[in-house]
Structure 1
Amino acid sequence: MLIACVAYQDGRKLGDITIDKISDYVQKPECFVWVALKDPEPAELDAMKEEFGLHELAVEDVRSHHQWPKIEEYDDSLFAVMHTVERKEDGSLDFGEVDVFAGPNYILSVRMRTAHGFKKVRERCESEPPLLKQGSAFVLYALMDDIVDSYFNVLESMTAELEELEDRIFGPQEQAEARAIIEELYRFKRRLVVMRHHVGPLLEGVGKLMGWRVPRICEGMTTYYKDVYFHLERIVGAIEGRREMVITAIQVNLGMIALADSEITKRLGTFAAMFAVPTMIAGIYGMNFEHMPELHSKYGYPIVITVIVVIEIMLFRFFRRAKWI
């Protein structure tokens, strides 16, 4: 679906144009065309290929979908693949793809399987004519910057979720609750790993736009691409940091479970020790020996009971001081 097809001259918007007029404006050195597509049909891609003279391999990458983030150079044009990340209400992550063709006089963005729009990016670019005069290089930067900034928003919401899970670790837990927390932490870790796979490769791609050999269409914009690169570095570092936090949280939760089990075992051992004393004494007097202390005394029974009660009180006070009960 065609979202927009706009011609610009010297950083100013000329107006919307039809697809068949694209080649007329692309041939003018002072003009460039910005086309936006969403989930295009094969025929639409073929039309764009013909109008802009797109490289066959890059077009095939768009048709095949599910490309990893990358930036490739074809003659005097660039082909960039970026992934969008959106967080659903249930906490799961939804990934889309944005393919961008950037040439000397054109920019073509193709959104696939994503609701992430670039209306604000277009408004931002059109509000800065001096930068928009840079043409496709500035628009490519603006698109990248918008996608990378959206990663920060996703990470912030995931950080809040992780903090909530950490609070639950140190709260009162049933056995089922402890197991549920571990499962949620593991699912959280998996989401971080998947996000790292969708975000990380773009770091290498952006590095090509600010290295020792900058593509011709990006000359003069290296400072802006460095800004995107540093933001990506922060995001990748934050993802790794959150993953370490999750691993630590899982270990802490397992330690809390082991500690709770130890407390239960200790309490059971305490009651077992207290029951062991009367059981032992009763067991001794249950043996059918003829000569036993106080066996024939009329005070034998109360004496034995008194001894049992005294020992039990002493044990109770000892375990109480030790905070075992």
Structure 2
Amino acid sequence: MYRRGVLEAQGFPARELAERLRDDDVTVWVDLCGPSQADLALIADELGLHELAVEDALHPHERPKLDRYETHCFLSAYAVRLDRSGRLETSELSAFLTRHALVTVRADDRFDVAALTTRWDESPKLAGSGVGFLAHGLLDAVVDSHFEAVQALDEHIERLEDLVFADHPDNRDLQRRALALRKSLVTLRRVVLPMREVVNALMRHDLVDDAIMPYYQDVYDHVLRATEWTESLRETVATIRETQLNLQGNRLNLIMKKVTGWAAIIAVPTAITGFYGQNVPYPGSDQPWGFWVSTAAILVVSGGLYALFKRRDWL
């Protein structure tokens, strides 16, 4: 519980919420990790939360959104983290925003609450904005996780670009990594793109006062940058895949040119020896010099074809 932006109490029972919130100078943050329906029902009764919002908080995989009700707003968002393999992990987070209370609901403990409270503690001069200040810290933490994931994905994609133009690329590994990155980007886009509407709608709410508004605008700018960056990376991954296929096609064409050239060179001695192998007399057929003439013809014609193909870069 905060009073005029100063932390006054913590760890008190949820049944005291209504009593403490009778003071207009008080702002309360309630954090629920993996709550049961009964736990959330108690908070809902104390704060008068809408049953549809409570149902959304209990059911996972909601779309990032901000729903407005008569006495409060319901926020759904996802914090993200990229592991070393390039796979994106999401942490769903729901929040109820009333005039004097913020209630966060987490399905598990993957969301770093300690980092969130640190953000609040680092900006005590803004704590007087009440719930608007707490909501800003929450959104800032979520959007920063999006931005960090985009940056990490960008680094993964840069390394993938280097592998595409390697002398001996592992095409199977490249394809697997490209598809994994594309999947992560699709997931990231699904949670980042709706955040523009969420932050924009909250900026128009009366919970956000003039003192905290510039900080919301900064978060909105980060959302736009993360969205544009995500779209750019999706196009980059698609381009890398197309480039890989084009390079494979070019290598195949080069191999076919070389195989065709060598086939033409090999065809010459095959034709000459096959011709001389016919059961008919030929010049020098019964003389040693006939063998040397056929051998010289093979070497000269084959060497000429090799030089011609080499000059035309067919070999």
2:298 to 308, 312, 315: 308
Distance 1:273 1:191, change over 3 A: same
* Displacement of 1:131: 1.2
Q: Is 1:157 the equivalent of 2:152?
A: yes
* Displacement of 1:324: 3.5
> Contact (CA 8 Å) 1:69, 1:83: kept in 2 or not?
yes
Once residues 45 and 295 of structure 2 are traced to their aligned partners in structure 1, the CA distance between those partners, rounded to angstroms, is 103
Q: Is 1:205 the equivalent of 2:195?
A: no
Q: Please, which runs of 5 or more residues in structure 1 have no aligned partner?
A: 1-6
1:9 to 3, 9, 12: 3
SS at match of 2:202: coil
Once residues 130 and 79 of structure 2 are traced to their aligned partners in structure 1, the CA distance between those partners, rounded to angstroms, is 23
Q: Is 1:224 the equivalent of 2:215?
A: yes
Q: Deviations over 1:286-307 (max 9, x none)?
A: 33345x4444555222112112
Once residues 246 and 109 of structure 2 are traced to their aligned partners in structure 1, the CA distance between those partners, rounded to angstroms, is 41
Give the TM-score, by structure 2 length.
0.93
**Counterpart position of 2:252:** 261
SS at match of 1:299: helix
Cα RMSD between the aligned structures? 1.9
* Displacement of 1:49: 0.8
SS at match of 1:33: strand
Same amino acid, percent of matched pairs: 29
**Counterpart position of 1:3:** none
Q: Deviations over 1:20-61 (max 9, x none)?
A: 222222110111111111111222111111221212111111
SS at match of 1:15: coil
> Contact (CA 8 Å) 1:118, 1:143: kept in 2 or not?
no
* Displacement of 1:201: 1.4
Q: Which moved more, 1:11-20 or 1:120-129?
A: 120-129
Alignment of 1:270-285 (within 5 A): 270-285=261-276
Q: Which amino acid aligns with 2:172?
A: R
Once residues 269 and 256 of structure 2 are traced to their aligned partners in structure 1, the CA distance between those partners, rounded to angstroms, is 21
Q: Which amino acid aligns with 1:238?
A: W
Once residues 99 and 121 of structure 1 are traced to their aligned partners in structure 2, the CA distance between those partners, rounded to angstroms, is 14
Once residues 126 and 113 of structure 1 are traced to their aligned partners in structure 2, the CA distance between those partners, rounded to angstroms, is 23
> Contact (CA 8 Å) 1:99, 1:111: kept in 2 or not?
yes
Give the TM-score, by structure 1 length.
0.90
1:186 to 179, 182, 185: 179
* Displacement of 1:255: 1.2
Q: Is 1:322 the equivalent of 2:312?
A: yes
Once residues 298 and 47 of structure 1 are traced to their aligned partners in structure 2, the CA distance between those partners, rounded to angstroms, is 110
Once residues 12 and 219 of structure 1 are traced to their aligned partners in structure 2, the CA distance between those partners, rounded to angstroms, is 18
> Contact (CA 8 Å) 2:86, 2:180: kept in 1 or not?
no
Count of residue correspondences: 313
Q: Deviations over 1:224-280 (max 9, x none)?
A: 222222211111111111111111100111111112112221221121111111111
Once residues 238 and 184 of structure 2 are traced to their aligned partners in structure 1, the CA distance between those partners, rounded to angstroms, is 13
